[in-house]
Structure 1
Amino acid sequence: MTSTENRESANARSTRQRSSALLTDKYELTMLEAALADGSAHRQCAFEVFTRRLPNERRYGVVAGTARVLAAVQDFVFTEEQLEDLDFLNEQTLEYLRTYRFTGQIDGYREGELYFPNSPILSVRGTFAECVILETVILSILNSDSAVASAAARMVTAAAGRSIIEMGSRRTHEYAAVTAARAAYLAGFDATSNLEAARRYGIPASGTAAHAWTLLHVDDNGMPDEKAAFQAQIDALGVGTVLLVDTFDIAQGVKNAVEVAGPELGGVRIDSGDLGVLTREVRAQLDELGATKTKIVVSSDLDEFTIAALRSEPVDTFGVGTSVVTGSDAPTAGLVYKLVEVEGHPVAKRARGKASQGGAKAAVRLCRATGTAVEELTYPFGGEEPASNGFTTRALTVPLIRDGELVDNLPTLQESRDYLAAQLVTLPWEGLALTRDEPALTVRHISQ
């Protein structure tokens, strides 16, 4: 096992010592009580996670948070202390919850898979009682993580191979910052500024100094001493560090940085101004000073569109904060959890604008011989795969939980990260566009 896998495994063990059972909505438990009363609680059902539409201008989504969902399902165990707080429930319901363990089946798209409207991302099968009370915790994880990963994947594509660092911890909830860093890393970001995410998930950590460090250093007359700040940072971290050069005048900051560190300076960071113009000027200045290998790092409210606009500029690394941890103005993936089957019979919602396709489903993706995806097909779960019509097929639905237990050999975060990178190149080139409205692929249901 690698150190990252050991860390992930240890984190999974510590997570399972905590209960996720109250990460739910009250109506899940009131429905449970009513179902226990009328006898419908034990009907065999299938629930499905999918989205009816992609948010904003996205043409694909990225499944993220699957490993966290599976851990939350296993942690969905009520403690006596929790049950004491559920005084709105009767004794029959409390007794059911006291011994509750999910014993059903979960299948779905693996973490790092692409999805589109009506893709059956997750299928949860078991009794109505044991499945219905998982809705909120499943959706809260998948909606948040998938929104971040979907935004981050677009940024990775826009960066065209250049490094991206996640640095948005201060722009979201303190624990959401940790899971957002994980989702961004899954999508292809190279590092995070968040140390808890680095510890918990084995993500490389990155960071040097802020403007406060430069402002801290003043001379005997109380005047700013940028060189002293740079020298102290070099003394502590070595010449390979990245110096923040835009606290005062950028041109003077670059000059001071190279004078202090020499031509082997690792990098300079620019956090303000017209980044396109400034990066060209700074690159020319660095080269003139002999610092031809010094990298340029840019930050300052970047998103996929500003990153794309800077693609032709001499930028080596992008630092992204607010737009990635908030899902780039789409803080939810729009995923829903709907009952689609009862005792083997398809059921479907018919409400206007919210219709669903009944029946538990599996999915395959059709690809050309070159590997380019052309269509996604869904079909009744457990049925025969639809004809490929000359295309190659790839099964999307895989087992995740069997009889309440995790299946063996679930992928690590690194494996899911590598898998997503491979899937992105299967999209037709126009499918990676940032500004079109229609999804990159259509999802079509094949009845059997």
Structure 2
Amino acid sequence: MNTADLGLPVAVPSTALFTDQYELTMLQAALRSGTADRRSVFEVFTRRLPEGRRYGVVGGTGRVLDAVENFRFDETILGFLRERGILDGPTLEWLADYRFRGDIWGYPEGEVYFPGSPVMRIEGTFAEAVVLETVILSILNHDSAVAAAASRMSVAAGDRPLMEMGARRTHELAAVAASRAAYVGGFHTTSDLAAGFRYGIPTVGTSAHAFTLLHDTERDAFTAQVDTLGSGTTLLVDTFDVTEAVRAAVEVAGPELGAVRIDSGDLLLIAHRVRQQLDELGATKTRIVVTSDLDEYAIASLAAAPVDAYGVGTQLVTGSGHPTCSMVYKLVARADSEEPGAPLRPVAKKSMGAKTSLGGRKWAARRPDADGVAEAEVIGTGPVPAELADRQLLVPLVSAGRVVAREPLDAARDRHIAARAALPLSATQLSRGEPVLPTEYV
């Protein structure tokens, strides 16, 4: 869900300057050389997964569609480019009428991917496709990194809810995108109200240590919060002495106290002690929430603890050690002329080392084994084998410049759960390993 679904107005600025200058200087040179209108195919992929990761998660597709739709050069932007002397007059005139009129195909949001997977394919003239490189990569690299971290944390948490709480640990705009990507990856709520407003993600939040310190006693703080938010609220109990705080919390709110939150210390030990104390006080239904610098490994270590929910911040919004997916945007095919029917021919970078790429417009499919479990990511440039025809992964996202694949955010979230469940069981191991599926080229 987004604000359009909620009927709420949101100002959408142009995304045209979310680009690197060389994209526009390439455009200018191509216009001069007469090659700008050659039909071209660009693909987004990564050569490898972050070290130790077994699968990637496609995040940010919906934001890419918004960015492409709002990639417009208004007079203010054109004036900036003119004043800086970045582009000549004819190029500025061309940009004034810019609209992406091509096609975009891609893995749907929430799908998993592997090294070489053509996560997104952009088809159009060279001129209209090349300028989208940076904005598409910046969205997919960030959101997919957060979604992958969220997925791993979701696996570690099992059925216990996850709260995204990382807004203060990243750029204010990145925080909103991170909340969205975390929801796709399996988180349930966010503390970021901008994300709740923009995307309809459920929001949560009660109080911090400052609220306790504001009052003369901890009991006074608890009383004020319960009087305002009701006995079902969550009380923060680690400002001073946890045992005393839990006792005061139950005395103030009664046995129907919603939850207590622990934000420091030995979470495993404290959670067990707090659970025992709550039960002895008759608050048997009061939940325990923990929120102290968690990542997927810390969450997994608490699997046997009486914890009911987790709040995650820094490690989530920074991709749990891998803040980018290293996706690239490469020209893989182009026509030999500007004629509308000119055939495409494969092109590819052939540099030394690991930065080579495979030319040609690609399809991708995921081959299952006899039990229906995925066993390989199959990528090809020729005809699709009959047995893989109904297993293809790329879907149309933009057709002739028109977005055709908008969907509720919950659809991407549900898709990810299903895609992850179709992988071999070893995909959910948190230990370092190779990609759970091999990539086969045919």
Unaligned runs of 5+ in 2: 336-343
Cα pair 2:3 2:199 within 8 Å, conserved = no
| CA distance in 1: counterparts of 2:146 and 2:203, whole angstroms | 18
How far residue 288 of structure 1 moved from its aligned partner, in angstroms, is 1.0
Q: After superposition, give the CA deviation of every residue in 1:52-106 in whole Å (9 maximum; x if it has no partner).
A: 1111321111101101101111111100111111122111111111111111110
| CA distance in 2: counterparts of 1:261 and 1:386, whole angstroms | 64
| CA distance in 2: counterparts of 1:48 and 1:258, whole angstroms | 58
Q: After superposition, give the CA deviation of every residue in 1:177-236 in whole Å (9 maximum; x if it has no partner).
A: 111001001111010000110011110000110000111111xxxxxx111111111110
- Secondary structure of the residue aligned to 1:365 is strand
**Structure 2 letter corresponding to 1:272:** S
| CA distance in 2: counterparts of 1:9 and 1:51, whole angstroms | 35
How far residue 47 of structure 1 moved from its aligned partner, in angstroms, is 0.4
| CA distance in 1: counterparts of 2:31 and 2:51, whole angstroms | 41
Per the normalisation by structure 2, the TM-score is: 0.94
Q: How many residue pairs align between the two structures?
A: 430
How far residue 431 of structure 1 moved from its aligned partner, in angstroms, is 1.3
- Secondary structure of the residue aligned to 1:334 is coil
Paired position in structure 1 for 2:398: 401
| CA distance in 1: counterparts of 2:415 and 2:290, whole angstroms | 28
| CA distance in 2: counterparts of 1:210 and 1:385, whole angstroms | 56
Paired position in structure 1 for 2:238: 246
Cα pair 1:139 1:335 within 8 Å, conserved = yes
Cα pair 1:373 1:427 within 8 Å, conserved = yes
Counterpart of 2:257 (choices 234, 257, 265) is 265
Paired position in structure 2 for 1:137: 135
Q: After superposition, give the CA deviation of every residue in 1:379-431 in whole Å (9 maximum; x if it has no partner).
A: 22xx532253xx89522110111111111x53211111111111111111111
How far residue 370 of structure 1 moved from its aligned partner, in angstroms, is 3.9
User: Is 1:59 aligned with 2:19?
Assistant: no
User: Is 1:324 aligned with 2:325?
Assistant: no
Q: After superposition, give the CA deviation of every residue in 1:111-158 in whole Å (9 maximum; x if it has no partner).
A: 000001000000001111111110000001111100100100000001
Paired position in structure 2 for 1:346: 346
**Structure 2 letter corresponding to 1:158:** A
Paired position in structure 2 for 1:291: 283
Paired position in structure 1 for 2:112: 114
Per the normalisation by structure 1, the TM-score is: 0.93
Counterpart of 1:167 (choices 146, 165, 168) is 165
Cα pair 2:379 2:441 within 8 Å, conserved = yes
Paired position in structure 2 for 1:432: 428
How far residue 6 of structure 1 moved from its aligned partner, in angstroms, is 6.0
**Structure 1 letter corresponding to 2:331:** L
**Structure 2 letter corresponding to 1:57:** G
Paired position in structure 2 for 1:148: 146
| CA distance in 1: counterparts of 2:275 and 2:290, whole angstroms | 12
Paired position in structure 1 for 2:361: 360
Paired position in structure 1 for 2:439: 443
How far residue 5 of structure 1 moved from its aligned partner, in angstroms, is 5.7
Query: Using a 3 Å threshold, how does the CA distance of structure 1 residues 166 and 5 change in structure 2: closer, same or farther?
Result: closer
| CA distance in 2: counterparts of 1:140 and 1:122, whole angstroms | 13
Cα pair 1:8 1:200 within 8 Å, conserved = no
Query: Using a 3 Å threshold, how does the CA distance of structure 1 residues 309 and 124 change in structure 2: closer, same or farther?
Result: same
| CA distance in 2: counterparts of 1:244 and 1:5, whole angstroms | 31
Cα pair 2:157 2:299 within 8 Å, conserved = yes
Deviates more, 1:132-141 or 1:36-45: 36-45
Paired position in structure 1 for 2:29: 34
| CA distance in 2: counterparts of 1:104 and 1:119, whole angstroms | 21
| CA distance in 2: counterparts of 1:57 and 1:248, whole angstroms | 39
Paired position in structure 1 for 2:406: 410
How far residue 8 of structure 1 moved from its aligned partner, in angstroms, is 4.1
| Moved segments of 4+, more than 3 Å | 4-11, 368-371
| CA distance in 1: counterparts of 2:204 and 2:346, whole angstroms | 50
Paired position in structure 1 for 2:180: 182
- Secondary structure of the residue aligned to 1:423 is helix
Query: Using a 3 Å threshold, how does the CA distance of structure 1 residues 180 and 5 change in structure 2: closer, same or farther?
Result: closer
Unaligned runs of 5+ in 1: 219-224
User: Is 1:420 aligned with 2:392?
Assistant: no
Paired position in structure 1 for 2:341: none
